[in-house]
Structure 1
Amino acid sequence: MIPTLQVFLIVSAALFSAGLLAALSRRHAIFILIGIEMMLAAANLNFIAFWRFNPQSQPPTGVMIAIFSIAIAAAEAAVGLALVIAEF
């Protein structure tokens, strides 16, 4: 089976929903950060899927946005974990 855009969107929606559930249902800061990271991963999957299935995709803009988002997420995780460690 060749994956289509719909398959990627369904997987991304499931990943985003799981991240939202993890972020909203837990009260511990680590689980909230993990949920936010899952939601960012779902957004990155959407960026790459829309870039991949665009009939006129020139440069890999979706990949560049996803890599930039991963760098921002890493910085966010580092700051969040530093705050959690400083609190406890």
Structure 2
Amino acid sequence: MLDGAGAAIEPVSVFLLELLACGNGASSCRSYGYALLGWFRFLGAVEVPWSRAQRDEVRDLVLWLRTSVNPARARSRLGAPAPGAINARTEKPSLSSNE
């Protein structure tokens, strides 16, 4: 992962290499990389250096994520079957709304 100046963010590079070395798949490493990218972008938006981030920034990120619109979440709801509906291909019921 590169910072705004195009330099590698060393702790992220080390973390992702360790994930890969421990047998995690490339897709898992990619997911972690995107999550870290979101974290670094959030810190940049609130003008807090990574080395100075505290619990307050984590809390604020979580609150922002909970209130922000997630297009993927909306897409999945649009075509989602009713809770408990039977899947025509597998003949299994879909999860109920409380699962």
TM-score normalized by the length of structure 2: 0.32
Structure label with greater radius of gyration: 2
Higher helix share: 1
TM-score normalized by the length of structure 1: 0.35
